Structure 1
Amino acid sequence: MKHIGALQAVVTADLSDREPTGVELDAIEVEMPLISAEVELLDVQISLLDRPASELDTRRLRRARRKVLAARLELTNQLAPMTGVGA
């Protein structure tokens, strides 16, 4: 079997190999409540894939959806003054 590989050293760094910058980490931190709410909603949706939803499951799903909407609204309200939206 013949090995196929690069014969020369890489000249430029691959962008996927770098660590996130401080600004990117700050943006993730600001969005973390929304990310967490979306993960919770996804967990509920996955749990309902293979069985019919009971009344309790329906409430959990509705609560998770409301949590995502509230997190999106909060994030939008935080970012609106920075972007000039609604001014």
Structure 2
Amino acid sequence: MNDEPTAAELTAIEDEMPLIEAEVDLLDVQIRIMSAHGPVDEVTAQRLRRSRDAVVAEALRWYMRRFNAPRRAA
């Protein structure tokens, strides 16, 4: 039995890595907020918004690549 990932699996992981990294960054911000004592400062709130936006943007890019969705005019 071969426990090594296939070339297709490695390609899929590589393709999804920007989304994974964005999600890890968002999780890091959320953990910092939950473990902080006191109110959230403006810098942390801004970092949370940017991280959340990055996850959404990367997810959309991943779906566009994954499902080869053509762009439609708004």
Pairwise TM-score range, normalised by the shorter structure: 0.7 to 0.9
Higher relative contact order (CA 8 A, sep 6+): 2
In the alignment, does 2:58 pair up with 1:71?
A: yes
- 1:53 pairs, out of 40, 49, 54, with 40
Q: In structure 2, the residue corresponding to 1:48 is in which secondary structure?
A: helix
1:23-68 Cα deviation digits (max 9, x unpaired)? 1110000001100000110111111112231111100000000000
Instruction: Report the Cα offset of residue 80 of structure 1.
Output: 1.9
Q: Which has the larger radius of gyration?
A: 1
Instruction: Report the Cα offset of residue 20 of structure 1.
Output: 1.1
TM (normalized to structure 1)?
0.71
**Aligned partners of 2:3, 2:12: CA distance in 1, in Å?**
17
Gaps of 5+ in 2: none
Query: What's the RMSD between the two structures over aligned residues?
Result: 1.6
Instruction: Report the Cα offset of residue 71 of structure 1.
Output: 0.1
**Aligned partners of 1:30, 1:18: CA distance in 2, in Å?**
21
Structure 2 partner of 1:5: none
Residues 25-64 of structure 1: matches in 2 within 5 Å? Answer: 25-51=10-36, 52-64=39-51
Identity of aligned pairs, percent? 47
